Amino acid sequence: MEVNKLNKLWHTGQEFLGVEYAIMGGAMSWISEHNLVSAISNSGAFGVIASGSMDAPLLKKEITLTKAKTKKPFGVNIIVMNPKLEELIDVCGEEKIKHIILAGGLPNAVIIKKLHDYGIKVIAFAPNVSIAKRLIKNGVDALIIEGSEAGGHIGPVSTSVLVQEILPEIKEVPVFVAGGIIHGEIVAKYLELGAAGVQIGTALVCTNECIAHDNFKQSFVRASSRDAQSTVQIDPEFPVIPVRALVNKGSKGFVELQREVVEEFKAGKISKYDGQMKIEHYWVGALRRAVIEGDVENGSLMAGQCVGMVTEITSVNEVIKQLIAKALTCIK
């Protein structure tokens, strides 16, 4: 009976994604590639390739490799600000991808139409009600609301507030909830509040199928929730895009770099533009250093606040199975 109720709660999400469980894998650069994505889809959830660091040929290769490992549905996450946006869309269209998640900006109606012309369903992130309504007007087929508890690039508002603000107002399209989700009980509650499904990321990093370096995974296992902190901005004249990651030598060095830049700027030793470039270039390649090379001291350890509840390295199937089991227990 609990299974029937769960299926009824996320039926819209199941139908939209074409999956058994309306659980999307968060698109994590260098992590969400064919091994992890196919494992998520094979578990009954919905894997998503992160194309952020890929060009068109590499994305095509990743899609091909993913198809070789799963016959189940999966999607592709594309950054709206990517200068090769249309090339990446063309690859997805040619490869018959059915769902694309547009992130890192607000997609316009022209891009959405191009995707629809390929028969692709468009999912976009909505940080508030007004933008959600604008995205729907522009033609998006579903929305994700992601709170500041999430890892990586984040907005300023928590998941619990976004859920209360957006879910009661948006009924035209399926809405998926993300940020800080690791246990099935909270999944059940979000579904009862009207969500079509959820998206998880941090919970999937410490899995056997994830290609991240063991040093990266062990950093997650050891971390507490308070270790996953948002980027510190020293001076409003030098804006910093908020990113949530585990505190390490690199993040502390970033704070010191900002202080040095501000001092040099005020002393007339550096222009504002050059100072901003020094700040922005600090983290170039840092995520790859941590994820692939295992440099957890100087690399970027992007993680959501739920990292404190990651206690072991397990399988993707086990992560999904535990989510479902706890959701069913909560419903019962």
Instruction: Write out pLDDT tens, residues 179-190.
Output: 999 999 999 999
Chain-centroid distance, C-alpha 173: 20
- Tell how strand 23-25 and strand 243-246 pair up: unpaired
- Per residue in 249-290, pLDDT (tens digit) is 999 999 999 999 999 999 999 999 999 999 988 988 999 999
For 176, phi then psi, to 5°, come to -105, 145
Q: Which residues lie below 8 Å from residue 225, measured CB to CB, with a gap of 6+? A: 305, 306, 307, 308, 309
Cα gap 83→80, rounded to integer Å: 8
pLDDT of residue 22: 98
- Per residue in 205-246, pLDDT (tens digit) is 999 999 999 999 999 999 999 999 999 999 999 999 899 999
Tell me if 62 sits within 8 A of 92, measured CB to CB: no
- Tell me the percentage of the chain whose pLDDT exceeds 70: 100
CATH 3.20.20.70 fits 2-211+312-331, yes or no: yes
Enter the tokens of residue 114: 């191009």
Amino acid letter, residue 185 = E
Element (H, E) at 258: helix 249-266
Domain-by-domain residue ranges, the chain?
2-211+312-331, 224-302
Q: What is the dihedral of CA 239, 242, 248, 249, to 10 degrees?
A: -20
Tell me if 51 sits within 8 A of 32, measured CB to CB: no
- Per residue in 18-34, pLDDT (tens digit) is 999 999 999 999 999 99
- Tell how strand 99-103 and strand 121-125 pair up: parallel
> Residue 271, Cβ neighbours under 10 Å: how many?
11
Where does the pLDDT of residue 75 fall: very low under 50, low under 70, confident under 90, or very high at 90 and above? very high
Cα gap 309→37, rounded to integer Å: 22
Please give the mean pLDDT across all residues of the chain.
95
Cα gap 206→284, rounded to integer Å: 24
Chain-centroid distance, C-alpha 282: 22
> What value, to the nearest 5°, has the Cα angle with vertex 146 and ends 142 and 147?
155
The one-character DSSP state at 104 is S
Q: What is the pTM of this model?
A: 0.94
pLDDT of residue 3: 86
- Per residue in 90-109, pLDDT (tens digit) is 999 999 999 999 999 899 99
Cα gap 252→277, rounded to integer Å: 18
Number of H helices, E strands in the chain: 15, 11
pLDDT of residue 332: 82
